[in-house]
Amino acid sequence: MLFVPENVGTSAARFSLFGSQFSFSSEYVYKINDPSSDNGYIYIPGQALLLNLNYFKRGFGVALAAKSTDNMSFRSDRNESLNYLLINYNPALTKPQTYLLVATLYPYATNINGEVAFQADLNYKIKKKTMLGGKYGTNISLNTSVALAPNRTYLNDQEGARLGYETSLFSISDSLFYSDVNIAVYHKFTKKFKAKLTYFNIAFNADANLITDAHGMVYSNTFVFEGNYKFTPKQSLRFELQTLFTEQDRGNWAAIVLEYSISPHWFFALIDQYNYGNKDESKQVHYYKFNVGYTKGANRIQIGYGKQREGIMCVGGVCRNVPASNGFTISITSSF
């Protein structure tokens, strides 16, 4: 017979240290036994450790982060599954992406049952009025992140203590959940035109992240060219040209995004995603959509038409998760 505690206690401690050019922060969390559908109703306690180190000086900055979590699923209903009724917050050490092909095809959040993750951010600004910096300077940013499964020794104790397994913080296995290496170069050419070129190299474990119909590892290379041209102080055109190459899953993709803004109220957007590399020719389709929106104060109304694939959609500087659809859409948001 399975006995489950009616109350689950947690405790946490934080430590921070600040200097003129650096900062360090850490947090440790401990959770007593909480058998649930997430962990297979075992009694091993949960724990997590998060470390952050930042160094910065004029024109250069670096941010390092490390995280180890184990059995930190914490719900108001222990029989629930998926991402529902969560009490705690499990941060992901991956860079939040907004570009269509990167954010919607292979997004990664965090593994709720445990992971060991690392992330590094480097930013460097080439000085103005130099050969590479030009008149306004050039910004270069490098980001890399990796998430792996913890190393665990499984126990045959289902008729006894039901701990399930043994592990320790930052004990790493060779099972990769996700990795991302991306580099971006941003340059302002004139007062009216600026652009950014970004490259993404992503390894995605489709068996651990149930987002696509693929199995095993999916490797992709994505290039994004983003530009912004300001016609007048209140009117501007932003565009994105994207292409993703992969030999797994649904093959290669291309995308284009055009956003015309008339500040402070109107914006118009045209979006097209094309799965031209799908091995099934019947699925080599265009996901096109046209949006028009009006914003005033804390109120926003948006009307769209077209074919939308399921995922994250970013238009007018606002990103949200949307279902698959084909036809007209209207959304109204207001903040109080």
pLDDT tens, 209-262? Answer: 888 888 999 999 999 999 999 999 999 999 999 999 999 999 999 999 999 999
What does the block give as tokens for 224? Answer: 């994004």
Three-class HEC string of 70-105: ECCCCECCCCCCCCCCECCCCCCCCCCCCCHHHHHH
Whether the per-residue pLDDT at 316 is higher than 70: the answer is: no
Report the pLDDT averaged over residues 44-51.
94
Mean pLDDT of 34-46: 88
Nearest to 217 by CA among 204, 236, 202, 232: 204
DSSP character at residue 151:
P
Query: What confidence tier does 133 reach under pLDDT thresholds 50, 70, 90?
Result: confident
Residues in Cβ contact with 138 at an 8 Å cutoff, skipping those fewer than 6 apart = 125, 126, 132, 185, 186, 187
Whole-number Cα distances in Å, 75 to 36, 40, 72, 210, 308 = 9, 14, 10, 21, 32
The arithmetic mean of pLDDT across residues 30-46, rounded, is 89
90-111 mean pLDDT: 86
d(CA 76, CA 304): 37
As a whole number, mean pLDDT of residues 299-313 equals: 82
Give the count of alpha carbons within 13 A of 258, CB side only.
6
Give just the sign of the alpha carbon dihedral 260, 252, 179, 48.
positive
Q: Using an 8 Å Cβ cutoff, are 189 and 168 in contact? A: no
Residue 75 predicted with pLDDT over 90: no
Of 216, 214, 209, 12, whose CA–CA distance to 111 is shortest?
A: 209
The H-assigned helical ranges of the chain are 100-105
Q: Which whole number is the average pLDDT over 306-334? A: 73
**What pLDDT sits at residue 83?**
62
Lowest mean pLDDT among 79-88, 107-116, 238-247, 309-318: 309-318
Q: Please name the helix (run of DSSP H) or strand (run of DSSP E) that holds residue 294, with its range, or none.
A: strand 286-296
**pLDDT for position 314:** 56
Give the integer Cα–Cα distance in Å for 70 and 173: 13
Whole-model pTM?
Answer: 0.87
Mean pLDDT, residues 184-193: 94
Average pLDDT value for the chain = 90
Is residue 322's pLDDT more than 80? Answer: no
pLDDT of residue 107: 86
**Are 184 and 223 in contact, with CB atoms under 8 Å apart?**
no
Determine the average pLDDT of the residues in 6-30: 93
Confidence at residue 313, expressed as pLDDT on a 0 to 100 scale? 59
